[in-house]
């Protein structure tokens, strides 16, 4: 056995382990299973590391053609297939066309066009869902056409996996990995290619934004003595955009180039960035800027709108100078164009992240994905964040448009995933228990008028799905009890919460209802629990309870007053009294 352990520590092969086990089949099987688990773990780690490398490689790419070539080459390498290729959508012809290949040898295949719905790729393009097949030529699920089958046959492809590229909510193309021999594609490989497609989609957005910005900056030219100044501005803005700079850098560059102060505000007039010696802060009326994109004088400063796709995203306000030359005015106006593009891209990146979160959340709550694949995808969204193993589920029903804006900073830091699902807003939180989550969301529920059910904590996979389903049942119970606009955990509903739960932790429920009283008895050697039992058995009559306990009625009343101090006012009201009686009965049953 020591030899086997030593070989495992030295990363020995399966054949070496089998020889070392000798005639002990149990030891051999155990060693090989451990070896297989280690290999699988290394493979997952290598795939995740490869995706991080791909993200870095794509982030450094500037040319659209090289980006697509990098994507297909990486797809072929990661999935381990003979060929990888990518098609792009042609909105004018309503089909997709081959744009990049790696490992292809057929000229006809490299020039192939796929109508929507035709072949495997056409079905991916039509449904926006991944499809894969072990043997495409004989697979009847797909609509075969002669041009597609001839090109696939000339290339010699048999097994094909395709996944859609979605950019800014719109279909852009399909990424494929294929083999010239029959081979199955595992769900892990489908998920891996999907993760690569998500990275590719974000990169395509970035490259397109950079290309649009470069095109806009190319227009920065003047036909007078300010040519060198305009060229310096052009180079400065281009450097900022291509290096991934934000609006702060644009404002600082503009302030330095023109020796002015600059304030950038959003569409509501909220300040986003400032540079230069701003003499005084003031509210900026974005509507004062012209829709034409021209610089206008507004009393004591210059204002120009930052507009993209016909939408006003904000405005640049320039001060500290009464006059600007024609060349300087053009520089400010072009700076507004660059600013609008950066703001638009920042919003698109945020929306892309939200969509990615919503996709992961949907897979997590439906139970349709492997838990390890889900956590790997979540790590790709935020490399700095540790993914917790246990999560609290909060389901918000009602108009939840203002929920996220009202989350407290500590609660926002505990937010792991959030998104709409089945008409509700679902939050997955890194909290120790459902009770703390319900308390933290109480103010949000009240101010937003939403009903919040909090369950868990639960591990990724089926336990998380079960916690979400329990939350739905809890919401139904809350509505029936007239508790809309509140935030509760299962134990907060007393007996009603027990009815709605698929499994009941009796000890936890008793502690939730009677914990302060039981703790008091244990610490002081009293019997308040016994007094409560006698009190309810006597029909809530202190006098009859005193007779049953053989003590004075005043003593019973003093004990009941102590219970009130421990449980709070209202425990004798019908609803709370029922919860206390059920907890007493459960406690007696639990302890005999």
Classify residue 171 by its DSSP letter.
Answer: E
CA 143 to CA 140: how far, in whole Å? 7
Fold of 219-349: Beta-Lactamase (3.30.450)
| Domain at 506-590, CATH from 2.40.30.10, 1.10.357.10, 1.10.760.10, 1.10.10.2840 | 1.10.10.2840
| Domain at 81-203, CATH from 3.40.30.10, 3.40.640.10, 3.30.450.40, 3.40.50.300 | 3.30.450.40
Integer angstrom CA distances of residue 585 from 503, 536, 589: 18, 11, 6
Residue 379 confidence (pLDDT): 73
Q: Give the pTM.
A: 0.41
Task: Spell out the per-residue pLDDT of the chain, length 592, in tens.
Answer: 555 556 555 556 556 655 655 666 666 666 556 555 555 455 554 444 445 455 555 555 556 567 788 888 888 988 899 999 999 888 889 999 998 999 999 999 999 999 999 999 999 999 999 999 999 999 999 999 999 999 999 999 999 999 998 876 778 889 999 999 999 998 888 888 888 887 777 776 666 666 666 655 555 443 344 455 556 666 676 666 666 667 777 777 777 777 788 887 777 677 777 787 765 544 444 444 455 567 777 777 888 777 776 677 777 787 877 777 777 777 777 777 777 777 777 666 666 666 777 788 888 888 877 888 777 777 766 655 677 888 889 899 888 877 877 788 788 788 888 888 888 888 888 888 888 888 888 888 888 888 888 888 888 888 888 888 888 888 887 777 677 888 888 777 665 555 555 555 566 666 667 778 788 878 888 887 777 777 777 777 888 877 887 888 888 788 888 878 877 787 777 767 776 776 777 667 666 5
Residue 110 confidence (pLDDT): 94
The answer to whether residues 567 and 581 touch, using CB atoms and an 8 Å cutoff, is no
CA-CA-CA-CA torsion sign (491, 492, 494, 497)? negative
Integer angstrom CA distances of residue 38 from 26, 34, 389, 582: 18, 6, 21, 51
Residue 15 confidence (pLDDT): 62
Residue 112 confidence (pLDDT): 93
Residue from 163, 196, 165, 169 nearest 380 by CA: 196
Please name every residue paired with 455 in a beta bridge, in sequence order, or none if there are none: 393
Which CATH number applies to 388-500?
A: 3.30.70
CA 280 to CA 532: how far, in whole Å? 68
Rg of the chain, C-alpha, whole Å:
33
């Amino acid at each position: 056995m020591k030899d086997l352990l030593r070989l495992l520590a030295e990363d020995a092969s399966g054949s070496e382990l089998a020889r070392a086990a000798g005639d002990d089949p149990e030891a051999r099987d155990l060693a090989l299973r451990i070896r297989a688990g280690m290999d699988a773990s290394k493979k997952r780690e290598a795939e995740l590391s490869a995706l991080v490398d791909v993200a870095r490689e794509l982030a450094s790419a500037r040319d659209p053609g090289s980006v697509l070539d990098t994507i297909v080459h990486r797809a072929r390498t990661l999935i381990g297939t003979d060929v990888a290729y990518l098609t792009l959508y042609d909105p004018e012809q309503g089909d997709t066309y081959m744009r990049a290949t790696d490992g292809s040898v057929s000229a006809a295949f490299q020039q192939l066009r796929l109508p929507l719905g035709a072949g495997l790729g056409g079905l991916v393009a039509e449904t926006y869902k991944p499809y894969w097949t072990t043997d495409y030529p004989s697979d009847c699920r797909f609509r075969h056409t002669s041009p597609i089958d001839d090109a696939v046959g000339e290339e010699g492809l048999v097994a094909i996996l395709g996944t859609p590229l979605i950019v800014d909510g719109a279909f852009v193309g399909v990424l494929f990995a294929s083999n010239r021999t029959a081979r199955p594609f595992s769900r892990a490989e489908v998920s891996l290619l999907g993760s690569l497609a998500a990275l590719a989609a974000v990169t395509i957005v970035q490259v397109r934004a950079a290309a649009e910005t470069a095109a806009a900056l190319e227009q920065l030219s003047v036909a007078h003595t300010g040519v060198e100044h305009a060229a310096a501005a052009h180079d400065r803005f281009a450097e900022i955009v291509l290096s991934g700079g934000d609006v702060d850098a644009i404002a600082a560059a503009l302030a330095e180039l023109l020796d002015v102060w600059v304030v950038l505000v959003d569409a509501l007039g909220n300040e986003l960035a400032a540079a230069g010696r701003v003499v005084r802060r003031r509210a900026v009326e974005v509507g004062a800027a012209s829709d034409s994109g021209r610089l206008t004088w507004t009393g004591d400063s210059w204002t120009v709108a930052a507009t993209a796709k016909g939408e006003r995203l904000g405005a640049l306000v320039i001060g500290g100078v009464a006059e600007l030359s024609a060349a300087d005015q053009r520089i400010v106006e072009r700076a507004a164009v660059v600013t609008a593009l950066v703001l638009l891209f920042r919003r698109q990146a945020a929306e892309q992240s939200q969509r990615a979160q919503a996709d992961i959340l949907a897979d997590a709550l439906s139970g349709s994905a492997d838990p390890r694949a889900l956590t790997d995808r979540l790590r790709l969204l935020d490399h700095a964040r540790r993914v917790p193993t246990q999560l609290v589920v909060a389901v918000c029903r009602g108009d939840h448009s203002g929920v996220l804006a009202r989350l407290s900073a500590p609660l926002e830091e505990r937010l792991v995933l959030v998104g709409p699902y089945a008409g509700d807003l679902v939050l997955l939180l890194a909290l120790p228990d459902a009770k703390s989550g319900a308390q933290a969301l109480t103010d949000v529920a009240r101010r937003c008028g939403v009903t919040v059910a909090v369950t868990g904590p639960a591990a990724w996979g089926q336990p998380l799905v079960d916690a979400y389903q329990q939350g739905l049942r809890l919401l139904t119970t809350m509505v029936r009890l007239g508790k809309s606009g509140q935030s509760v955990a299962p134990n907060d509903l007393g007996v009603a919460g027990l009815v709605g739960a698929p499994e009941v932790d009796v000890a936890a429920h008793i502690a939730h209802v009677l914990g302060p009283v039981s703790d008091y008895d244990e610490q002081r050697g009293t019997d308040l629990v016994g007094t409560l039992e006698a009190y309810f058995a006597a029909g809530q009559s202190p006098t009859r309870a005193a007779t049953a306990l053989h003590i004075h009625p005043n003593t019973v009343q003093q004990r009941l007053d102590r219970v009130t101090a421990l449980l709070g006012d209202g425990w004798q009201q019908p609803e709370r009294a029922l919860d206390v009686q059920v907890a007493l009965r459960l406690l007696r049953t639990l302890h005999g």
